[in-house]
Amino acid sequence: MSGRWWVAAGGLAAAGLLVLTVVVAGPLRAGGDQPPPEPPPSDQEPPQPETLESFRLGAPADCGTNPFCLDGLGRTYGIDVTELLVPMEPGEPIVTALREGTVEVGVLFTTDPLLAEEDLVVLDDDLGMLAAENVVPYSRAELIEQRGDGLRDALDRVSEVLTTEAVSRMVAELRAGTPADLAASQLIETLDLDTVEVEVERGDPIRIGAERFDEDVVIAHAYVAGLLTQGVDAAVVELDGFRALEVASLLDREIDVAIDYAGSLLEFLDGFASLASPDPKETVAALGELLAVADYELFAPSPATSANTFVVTAATAERYGLSALSDLVDAAPAAEATPPPGVRPEVTEPLVLLGDAALRVGDTGPAVLQLQELLQAAGYPPGPLNGIFEEPTRRAVAAFQTDAGLPPTGVAGPQTLAALEAAVAAAEETESETDGSGGTPPPDPEPAPDRPAPDGAVVHLTFDDGPNATYTPQVLDLLARYDAQAVFFAIGQQVSGGSALVQRATADGHRLGNHSWSHPSLAELSRPAFDQEIGRTQDAVQAATGRRPTCLRPPYGAMGSQTRSWAAEAGLEVVLWDIDPQDWARPGVDSIVRSVIDHVRPGDVVLFHDGGGNREQTVAALERILDQLSDRGFSFTIAPGC
């Protein structure tokens, strides 16, 4: 069989899941040394594949931050899918969108049972973007110090039996309506874990964090079931977010054990392009080393992998001759030049001192001193300026990382240093402005950030993704203090649990808006699904507050051609926003404040989030924003339409 006939099996055979064998006729895009296509073994010309001009990529929301999704496609394939990305709930919605043609390419996890569907073809990762993504638990090092090595052994025993196939089976049961704990304990019951003697110090249940997608939830439940079977008390803590939240929750001692995918976690923590490898041993070793310096312990990896797989329907593959990710290159914008794999991002002063390394506890020398001086200048005192990286410096680095929206590892790599330099430069700029030492005054920016507002000027504050037991009350307290009225675009399924909060918001003079029942992209929904998402939320808010919302904010701001008219039929006006400070991404309190203060004009609608993750930055920024805008004479009223 020659190179023009190909078999799309991808890495699935190795993962033990299933082998999708789809043979499609079409020329293989490859280097110029390919011989020209031979005529096919028939006297009819085969239909030539059409050219794929562009495509839409249906992917889980974390594709934007996953190093082996948006970033990886840029880095390895040189294509920029930012504008092509349609964020969707993982699994079925993506497959439905592929079949209905609302997206051409979809992302599923290796463990997704939907990969068994016969009309799906996995695009080969022909340039090797995907790293080893074995499922691996980790914890703070102190956990094992406190509870003993028996706990490590107990976790390792669960990891041993967790295969991709087992995870896929649990996901299938979860989707069929079996509760996650039941799906997990059915798997664990088939093992003989309860025959092993386990010695673990008594204490509170071991809390295992689960991110908000099916794979992570069932895997967390599998570890809990496995620990319980071995006589160790354990419980799942469901986190309302992805990787960043899980790392932060571990650091904040809200959970004891986090579970992640080795390659993605390594990239996420390190910020480098080169450490994660297709070889599981290399990836896990590098991850273990990185975690150890930050006082985390990595446990043994399981054989299960949960890599992203890029899929198209068989019809799309045939029509456009698609077999590999390289085949998408011509149909997407080129990514900005990025270093090839294996080369770390180029770093400028003062990072030159660092060479390849990141700075961490135990390091000494001029680079550490330089780091300490930067921390000091940015307002994060690192202890004595002595060129020795000890606990006070680690704490200062972690504090800065938290405020800058970086994973708070306490290890200073290129990302952290670049952010730190930027913070220092910004602080110096502000200083020279206020002491009047600058030369010619800069041109008057428009609108002027500190100019008094015209008489009667208003701003409309809005908060999405609540109600949230932690952050919504803090937002309500601040709004009350500044006599501000706002709109809360609530997620319907959170309303009944948060009814006291929405009642308080209503009593305080705020309005509730509709943000759908489960936060899907409305652009992808059929009419019945749309009506269900919107109608259930209307009913839930009415039941809690006695009042039906009159305005709708589509999740992600995503709308299809019918969204506005369907909303209107449900009595809802679509309300988007003028200013998006990206507070959900935790870019740092200063950044959120500046995004609003520097750009706000009378009548603007401002987007914030009081749910969906850690919102400490939002709360801190809101106080400063309310303070500064009140001083300038703005008042805060309900957005039109609500």
List contacts with Zn ion (CB under 5 A).
464-465, 555
CB of 595 to Zn ion, least distance (A): 18
CB of 108 to Zn ion, least distance (A): 23
Q: Given the complex with Zn ion, which of 376 and 518 has the nearer CB atom? A: 518
Q: Given the complex with Zn ion, which of 318 and 465 has the nearer CB atom? A: 465
Distance CA 493, CA 540 (A): 8
Q: Which of 181, 256, 609, 610 is catalytic?
A: 609
CA distances from 355 to 133, 283, 350, 359 (A): 28, 21, 10, 10
Distance CA 71, CA 545 (A): 43
Question: Which residues neighbour 597 within 8 Å (Cβ) at sequence distance 6 or greater?
Answer: 449, 625, 628, 629
Distance CA 389, CA 197 (A): 42
CB of 465 to Zn ion, least distance (A): 4
Burial letters 439-454, b for 16+ CB under 10 A, else e = eeeeeeeeeeeeeebe
CB of 515 to Zn ion, least distance (A): 6
Q: Given the complex with Zn ion, which of 482 and 577 has the nearer CB atom? A: 577
Question: Which residues neighbour 205 within 8 Å (Cβ) at sequence distance 6 or greater?
Answer: 233, 234, 235
- 491 φ, ψ (degrees, to nearest 5): -85, 120
CB of 489 to Zn ion, least distance (A): 7
Distance CA 553, CA 557 (A): 7
Q: Given the complex with Zn ion, which of 260 and 465 has the nearer CB atom? A: 465
Residue 310 pairs in a beta bridge with: 107
Answer whether 294's CB lies under 8 Å from 411's CB: yes
Angle at 566 between CA 565 and CA 571, to 5 degrees: 90
Q: Given the complex with Zn ion, which of 267 and 464 has the nearer CB atom? A: 464
> Would you call 530 helix, strand, or coil by DSSP?
helix
Q: Given the complex with Zn ion, which of 78 and 549 has the nearer CB atom? A: 549
Query: Which residue carries 């800058």 as its tokens?
Result: 404
Using alpha carbons, select from 490, 523, 525, 478 the residue that is nearest to residue 623. 478
CB of 241 to Zn ion, least distance (A): 12
Answer whether 261's CB lies under 8 Å from 121's CB: no
Q: Which of 112, 464, 604, 610 is catalytic?
A: 464
Distance CA 401, CA 419 (A): 9
What sign does the dihedral 597-602-607-609 (CA atoms) show? positive
Q: Given the complex with Zn ion, which of 215 and 464 has the nearer CB atom? A: 464
Q: Given the complex with Zn ion, which of 112 and 465 has the nearer CB atom? A: 465
CA distances from 366 to 345, 357, 370, 555 (A): 22, 14, 6, 48
Q: Given the complex with Zn ion, which of 301 and 612 has the nearer CB atom? A: 612
User: Active-site residue 464, yes or no?
Assistant: yes
CB of 152 to Zn ion, least distance (A): 39
CB of 477 to Zn ion, least distance (A): 22
What's the number of CA atoms in the CB half-sphere (13 Å) around residue 95? 16
User: Active-site residue 435, yes or no?
Assistant: no
Question: How large is the greatest C-alpha to C-alpha distance in the chain, in angstroms?
Answer: 83
Q: Which residue is nearest to Zn ion (CB)?
A: 464
CB of 242 to Zn ion, least distance (A): 14
Question: Which residues are designated catalytic?
Answer: 464, 609
